Amino acid sequence: MNSKIAMITGITGQDGSYLTELLLEQGYEVHGLVRRSSTIERSRLKHLYNDDSVYGKRLFLHYADLDDPTTIRRIVTRTAPAEFYHLAGQSHVGLSFEIPESTCDATAIGTLRIMEILRDQPNPPRFMHASSREIFGTPSVSPQDENTAVNPNSPYGCAKTFATQMTKIYRESHGLFFCNAICYNHESPRRGENFVTRKVTLAAARIKAGLQKSVSLGDLEACRDWGYAKDFVRAMWLMLQQDEADDFVLATGVSHSIKELLEIAFHHVNLPWQDFVHIDDRFKRPADPFQLLGDPSRAEQRLAWKRSVDFEQLITMMVDSDVARTNRQSV
């Protein structure tokens, strides 16, 4: 088995695209699983699969859905990855209240199907499951670490809790190198437009350009522990380079409110955010997880991991990217 072969589910997403770039820089052959759909838009990977020196030589994409274990098994058997990064799943917390069944099928059972496939391999790969801070729901302690009790309060959080616990069970019962990356919010210019950070930075750019008049949001006092996606995928890779498998909280340990997010984003384009923000109760979740703050001490100490940008740098980076994108589109 080639130790430099990796497979990624969710490769076309924010984390998947950054992880692909990191692994290629490290000399890996990268295989990604992508869903069959009516569109082949893969904007986050466009620069890679349009590169003839990379795509088809060191980067390969395979069609497979999480509810199609036969196809996934066939691909895994043929490619024999040494490392498997499982990032795919329905990852929007608010949306999970509207589509709980498909969320649980993809996020919970989809993960279990993959683990069953991997443990049947002659040489099971090292496995990293992208877990979520949502497994803690409304926690009784803050900050949370790897030993904090799970208490999910959304369908997505419940599905992730199942997948997280099963990953631990497979590690402890079957002796497999299976890990959970318990990820707090992590953002970047590649974040989807339906997530609040990108919704705000894009609105700031479009309002500045005269292409949008306002932005509607829910609870402005809601706080999150927001980090940088490129930092998080580096930690994921470091997790699979260790001598022993373990779970790690990936977070910044610093909390910020949506109001702070607005202040930084709109100040960066010289606009008063109060003039452009409307409060809409439709964007308030049925059960919003308060006091979600991660303790990254284990990752910092054992992985020698630390973040490369702070919150203000992250948000201004995202605004700059959206301003540039908006200017290109308006030409």
Catalytic residues, which ones? 132, 134, 156
Distance, CA of 321 to CA of 229 (rounded, Å): 15
* Residue among 142, 134, 141 nearest 162 (CA): 134
Rg of the chain's alpha carbons, rounded to an integer? Answer: 20
- Pairing state of beta strands 227-228 and 277-279? unpaired
* 8 A C-beta contact, residue 219 and residue 289: no
Please list, residue by residue across 24-40, b when 16 or more beta carbons sit within 10 angstroms of its beta carbon and e when fewer do: beeebbbbbbbeeeeee
Q: Give CA–CA dist 183/171, Å, rounded.
A: 19
Q: Where does 113-251 show beta strands of DSSP type E?
A: 126-132, 178-183, 186-187, 215-217, 223-224, 227-228, 248-250
Amino acid identity at 270 = N
Nearest-CA neighbor of 164 among 69, 252, 67, 248?
248
User: What is d(CA 210, CA 138) in angstroms, rounded to the nearest whole number?
Assistant: 39
Tell me the two tokens of residue 313. Answer: 């740098």
Calculate the CA 288 to chain-centre distance: 19
Alpha helices in 26-154, H assignment, sequence order: 46-49, 69-79, 93-96, 100-104, 110-119
Measured in residues, the chain has a length of 331
